[in-house]
Structure 1
Amino acid sequence: MNQHNLIHDSADEYGPIRVIDVGQYRILSFAEGDEQSRIRLASPHILQHEYTQAMMLPLLFIQPKRVCILGLGGGALVNALYHSVPSIQITAVELRQEVLDTAQMYFKLPQGKRINFVVDNAASFLDKGLDKKVDLLMTDIYHTEGMDRSVLATSFIENCARNIKENGWLVLNCWSDYKNHEGLSELLKDNFVDVRALDTGTGNWVVIACKKTHTVNAKAMKAMAQKLSTSLDIPLTKWLSRLAEIS
């Protein structure tokens, strides 16, 4: 049995921040029994949580040059994109300075001129407008109580669309409870043309959306997914098979 080793235990105004080593893995936790982030210490760029793997699906349609990630956690998405997409420019927005400090200390985040870490409220940051529109906007905003419901707000989705390039993609990580949230689905379809989603089967509902329609032959798409699965070392073909349009 793997031994649990608590290597960091702190708190801020939003709640606890703990880092736990379990065998070859390192976990960031905001609450008892919670896994906010997980990395394999020997290969932190390989995504461990299934929902983060599914969030890579837009790479089948676009090779992003500029990405904004809302919600840093342990930085798994930052690590994967930085490692797999040449010359990518990443802005990662995190509400909690203590979370950013913890991620940089314990989760092997890449550093350099191509990454900009910002401490701010994600909704406020978007509302102010990005310096430049992005190819990929990813939201993974969770706290001690679970998913941040600001993601469901009309203004939030509208601001997402406003800050994404015409051929860029939005990726939302939601609780699977929101699959039947009619308001969110309608809001997404009001602001995006191509809206697809999948249930990971592990409690997450991942939505990807673009302002343009993308039509790719199914056979060609599967071949691209197999190639990308190899380079990312994740089962992207599995997640592609579950992806469907939101009707």
Structure 2
Amino acid sequence: MQQEIFSAQDEYGPIRVLESDGVRTLNFGGPDAQSSWHKSEPHVPQLEYARAMLLVLLFNTPKHTLTLGLGAGTLNTCLHAGIAGLKQQAVELRPAVIEAAQRFFQLPQGKRMQLHQADAFAFMRDYQGKKLDVIFSDLYNADDVEHEQLSADFLDNCHRQLKTGGWLVLNCWDSHQSDEFMQRLQTRFCDVRSCLTSSGNWVVFAGTTPATNNAKALKDQEWTLSKRLGFSLQPYLSRLGSH
């Protein structure tokens, strides 16, 4: 039986934190959980798509990342624990989501984690900070992805803020796979790959320069990285394809 331990309402709808048997989920009122977190493994993302997004660490060992769409911050918590010295920025539109992540999901606080309460699309248009190694974009409402995440302008803004060798990681649904969107990516990025999870998330990886890792090197790196993160990336690496 799930117990509601936090509830808030804003102009975009409800924000709820539910708990059952040590598992907490963040929900925006739709049928899907936005984030899932387990008390016994606070640094391990529980949802497939968040784990799959971390495949980017096979292509880039970042020093500075930006996350668009905080959710419960499980991706950020994992990165904070797994990459020494990593500096992260995260952008979240809804103040109550930030509150929930800090109060109920152990989101790290301190100099290595900088939070911005802002609209992510406006933030990317106006960003004047240092170039980034990885941008994670996970912009959803209660029912679907925010479709501006798939737009040419948004992809241009992200590309402009990445270092040479940097990567953009997009969490989409399998229904967003299309020749038009793929062409949009391939005209801007040199290396485009994707992973379709069993839960229906389509995670896209877009690199500003081609990755040079061969299949054996990726497999060796996956084993080392999985050990450091505390869960196996192999199921997602096996689904990773190039475009």
By the TM > 0.5 criterion, same fold?
A: yes
Q: Aligned match of 1:45 in 43, 46, 55?
A: 43
What is the aligned-residue identity percentage?
Answer: 40
- TM-score, reference length from structure 2: 0.97
CA contact (8 A) 2:30 2:142 kept: no
Q: Say if 2:176 is the partner of 1:183.
A: no
Number of residue pairs matched by the alignment: 243
Which of residues 73, 76, 79 in structure 1 aligns to 2:74? 76
Whole-Å Cα distance in 1 between the matches of residues 198 and 40 of structure 2? 27
Mapped partners of 1:41, 1:109: distance in 2: 13
Offset at residue 32 of structure 1 (A): 4.3
* Aligned-residue CA RMSD (Å): 1.0
Q: Hey, what does 2:169 align to over in structure 1?
A: 171
Deviation string, structure 1 residues 108-136 (Cα, Å, up to 9, x no partner): 11111111000111110000024111000
CA distance in 1, matches of 2:156, 2:214: 30
Per-residue deviation at 1:221? 1.2
**1:5-45 deviations in whole A, cap 9, x for unaligned?**
11112110000011100112111100143201100112221
AA in 1 matched with 2:226: S
Distance 2:42 2:76 in 1: 10
TM-score, scaled to structure 1: 0.96
Kindly provide the CA deviation profile for residues 138-165 of structure 1, in whole angstroms up to 9, marking residues without a partner as x: 0011112321101111100000100111
Q: Give secondary structure in 1 for the equivalent of 2:84.
A: coil
Deviation string for 1:70-103 (max 9, x for gaps)? 0001001110100100100000000111111121
Aligned counterpart, 1:159: 157
Q: How does 1:23-172 map to 2 (within 5 A)?
A: 23-172=21-170
Letter in 2 for 1:36: Q
Task: State how 1:193-208 maps to structure 2 within 5 Å.
Answer: 193-208=190-205
The residue type equivalent to 2:27 in the other structure is S
**Worse-matched range after superposition: 12-21 or 182-191:** 182-191
